[in-house]
Structure 1
Amino acid sequence: MPSQPTTPHLRRIRRRIRVRGITAVRFLGSPPLRASNSRRCYPQITELSEHSKRVWTVVGLVERRIRPLVSDLLAEEPVIALQGPRAVGKTTLLRHIADAHGVQVVDLDDLATRGAVAGDPALFVSGSAPVCIDEYQHVPDLLDAIKAELNRDARPGRFVITGSTRHDALPAAAQSLTGRLHRMTVYPLSQGEIAGVHEHFLDMVLEDASALVTATPSSTTRDDYITRITAGGFPMALGRSETARNRWFDNYVTLSLLRDVQELSRIRQKESLPKLLARLAGQTAQLLNIRAAAEQVGLTPDTGENYTRLLEDVYLIHRLPAWGKTLRARAVATPKLHVVDSGLASRLLRLGPSKLARHDATSLQQFGHLLETFVVFEVLKQASWLAAVAGTGHWRTHDGIEVDLVLELDDGRIIAIEVKASTKVTGKDLNGLKALRDELGDAFVAGVAFHTGQRSYSPEDRIHVVPVDRLWTPA
């Protein structure tokens, strides 16, 4: 079998701060990295407080919770596609898989490798299993070559591919591997992954949601939540100073728009994309209104829809679909919009920690929207590790009753999530959870209302009020 080419880019990658499928994050104030026996070693992440900002200050490494699930699926699925935003650790995860099986990674971000693969896709998909291909969207013809290879040998574990573009957005992707490809979303780091804590919030809800309620008060303050929200979960943004983090986010958006979006489609009004993204970011955690955002930047509604879909295709924004349209005739069908990372959303909105810490009406409203996006994605990250979650969405009726996040399990059971930015939750705040419980009956597992206060309690049957940090702290 011909060996795969080793490019200078591949060699450089091996020298980066990446070890065996674990994303390494260097935090402010950390000592220089030291090599031991030609292998870099890192202590476990711990979280230290420094003044009111609680800045993470140590070198750490992050064990991705999705990794064991990928390993299990290699024994069942012929093709696994790891998809998600750039710079969240997909390449690191892929390299761990490749190292564990003694194979190399075909890196299509490298132009020389990309050209070689485009010239002869069949050669590069015929290697030892699993064939590991990074950023496969650069050469869509690879999917046809993989299909042809699977026609000869469709055993499980043949291919693991990663992509920073939604699979359905690629030209021929929808038909090439129908029924043979299992897609998994890799999100930015969760709060538990950052802190080295094994999160089990959804497991607890499924086993016994009342266990979420404890006598131990939360010690997380509003300022702590602001720090976490504005930091986000991108490994390369964590631990930077606020100025350096802002610069990283700005560069990330620019490269995503110039490279990934342009690769998907020829954009006539390129200058409108950043403006549209900023306007859409202003709708995070709200009902999506593309027409309004498009008009604000001088685009027609149709062009606004097309550009919005492109931003979604490269994982800058996420459309949370309306759920329960058949449950009640008066349920709205409009999706909610969320920026894929609260840190990125904060930067797009130019909302740093000092602005969010203010107590004026505008700052409080913005904090509420960003907190909801933060919580929604923390739950979606945990849901991505569970095979039992069949779908997610939000529920809202025309008369204003709403639930911020609904998770539907394979067996039809429902978990409902509500997010409140206040330190206290009133009975009115629980109306959406109670209405959904009454509609669903026994299919309603639990409703959880998150808040920024200290206490947890269960005011009604299957309704639980808990601090936000219960998502990543042991109950």
Structure 2
Amino acid sequence: MEHNSTIAHMIDRIVSSQLADAIAHSPAVALLGPRQVGKTTLALEIGQRYGAIYLDLESERDRAKLAQPELYLADHQDKLVIFDEVHRAPGLFPVLRGLIDQGRRTGRKSGQYLLLGSASLDLLKQSGETLAGRIAYLELSPFNVLETRSLPADDLWVRGGFPESLLASDAARSLRWRQDFIRTYLERDIPQFGPRIAAETLRRFWSMLAYHQGGLLNTAQFARNLGVDVKTAGGYLDLLVDLLLVRRLSPWHANLGKRLVKSPKVFVRDSGLVHALLNISDKETLLAHPVIGQSWECFVIENLLTCTSNKVQGYFYRTSGGAEIDLLLLWPDGSLWAIEIKRSLSPKVARGFHEACADLAPVRKFVVYPGEERYPLASDIEAISLEELAREIVRAQ
């Protein structure tokens, strides 16, 4: 465990410079991400530069310090204060608002509060009501392909990007960590955030999403399989999306005179959790499993999306006639990049991709494949590795 945490400290997080910039320019910053993703590690590293005070709100002792939050925080107006698991102290937000406004009146504008949260829902609900215009949001995802270049490429896909899973000493330990993580979420963490849901029901739903990885959302089908109504199944999905564990990828919709698919795609964001939910222990087992193609496609999509800033939006495109693009990136200037994903060392571009590109006129077209070499597949389409395209996206921002 000690060794893992040392390696985790040595891996640079892409969001690190954005976080430092946000702290320098905003009076409050929220760093959101699932549990165990490395938020505390990153916050403490940045906090060292500021001589920050760290409060873990899951600790009774630290919560006790905030029995009179105005008094405690007034004593530390000159410091960056880090609040970990901030949803544990919802009464804190109005206090922070008052202190930030007071600081503004006295000429202090930035670097006061860093809030760490394991979910968007409670944090956004609370801070959205009381800290509007005073808070910047950043999301920390599990490790991505640009952060783990020194590790075997397929380890990130098979084990996922949670530090303890990726850096475990062998495949069995990695799988056990992910299974424990899922159980802890179901039994301890989710009950803090949502209405009481039987852990077993939610586990079945989460596993269904893993089997259905990257498929179009059909809430009615999920509801039937679970024996609940559609609204309840929709609520389960909303909860897992809010906990930053599942992604809904929206379909591109524009008036093109075509019949476009309107349902979002849904997938479990971390590939390692997909494999744990399906009891896939290692690469050999994965290669023989029917989820392999969708697992790799969603792994690529999630990695590319975690490399984008919140100014770049991701979609997919599909018409009833078969035109399809796996991932569309919409840039702030309105231009589009079209990305096709093929798990083959000699990828071929399908007719549906050409048709979709004719509909949308993207400025860049790529086919991501598992090889290393970058080469033209057609005059305006490049075959490219995941890592290389991730770098290209970061450079373009």
TM-score, normalised by the number of residues in structure 2: 0.88
Match for 2:359: what amino acid? E
2:295 matches 1:347: no
Per the TM alignment, residue 454 of structure 1 is displaced from its structure 2 partner at its CA by 5.5
Match for 2:388: what amino acid? R
2:68 matches 1:120: yes
Match for 1:418: what amino acid? E
- The residue aligned with 1:370 is 295
Out of 184, 189, 198, the position equivalent to 1:260 is: 189
After TM superposition, the structure 1 stretch with the greater mean CA deviation from structure 2, 367-376 or 235-244, is 235-244
User: What secondary structure, in the 3-state scheme, does the structure 1 residue paired with 2:11 have?
Assistant: strand
Per the TM alignment, residue 144 of structure 1 is displaced from its structure 2 partner at its CA by 1.6
Matches of 2:257 and 2:93, distance apart in 1? 41
- Deviations along 1:43-63, whole A, 9 cap, x unmatched? xx7xxxxxxxxxxxxx98211
Match for 2:55: what amino acid? V
User: What secondary structure, in the 3-state scheme, does the structure 2 residue paired with 1:162 have?
Assistant: strand
2:320 matches 1:395: no
The alignment covers a number of residue pairs equal to: 384
2:198 matches 1:273: no
After TM superposition, the structure 1 stretch with the greater mean CA deviation from structure 2, 63-72 or 418-427, is 418-427
Out of 149, 161, 183, the position equivalent to 1:233 is: 161
After TM superposition, the structure 1 stretch with the greater mean CA deviation from structure 2, 395-404 or 132-141, is 395-404
- The residue aligned with 2:83 is 133
- Native 8 Å contact 1:325 1:333 kept in 2: no
Match for 2:68: what amino acid? D
Matches of 1:390 and 1:228, distance apart in 2? 24
Match for 1:239: what amino acid? L
Match for 2:248: what amino acid? R
- The residue aligned with 2:395 is none
2:40 matches 1:91: yes
- The residue aligned with 2:304 is 379
Out of 116, 129, 135, the position equivalent to 1:181 is: 135
Which residues in structure 2 correspond to 1:37-186 (within 5 Å)? 61-117=10-66, 119-126=67-74, 127=76, 128-154=78-104, 155-167=109-121, 171-186=125-140
2:361 matches 1:431: no
**Residues 1:303 and 1:459: Cα distance change in structure 2 (over 3 Å):** same
- The residue aligned with 1:290 is 219
Match for 1:251: what amino acid? D
TM-score, normalised by the number of residues in structure 1: 0.74
User: What secondary structure, in the 3-state scheme, does the structure 2 residue paired with 1:182 have?
Assistant: strand
- Native 8 Å contact 1:317 1:339 kept in 2: yes
Match for 2:92: what amino acid? L
- Deviations along 1:256-283, whole A, 9 cap, x unmatched? 1222211112314343111111111112
User: What secondary structure, in the 3-state scheme, does the structure 1 residue paired with 2:79 have?
Assistant: coil
User: What secondary structure, in the 3-state scheme, does the structure 2 residue paired with 1:271 have?
Assistant: helix
Matches of 1:143 and 1:327, distance apart in 2? 45
Specify every segment of 5 or more residues in structure 1 that has no aligned partner in the other structure, as ranges: 1-15, 18-23, 27-41, 46-58, 198-223
- Deviations along 1:87-108, whole A, 9 cap, x unmatched? 1111011112221111211111
Which residues in structure 2 correspond to 1:244-255 (within 5 Å)? 244-255=173-184
CA RMSD of aligned residues (A): 2.6
User: What secondary structure, in the 3-state scheme, does the structure 2 residue paired with 1:74 have?
Assistant: helix
User: What secondary structure, in the 3-state scheme, does the structure 1 residue paired with 2:17 have?
Assistant: helix
- Native 8 Å contact 1:323 1:393 kept in 2: yes
Match for 1:276: what amino acid? F
**Residues 1:301 and 1:116: Cα distance change in structure 2 (over 3 Å):** farther
- The residue aligned with 2:287 is 357
**Residues 1:322 and 1:111: Cα distance change in structure 2 (over 3 Å):** farther
User: What secondary structure, in the 3-state scheme, does the structure 2 residue paired with 1:464 have?
Assistant: strand
Matches of 1:134 and 1:328, distance apart in 2? 49
Per the TM alignment, residue 306 of structure 1 is displaced from its structure 2 partner at its CA by 0.8
- Native 8 Å contact 2:87 2:122 kept in 1: no
- Deviations along 1:292-323, whole A, 9 cap, x unmatched? 22321222211111111111222221112222
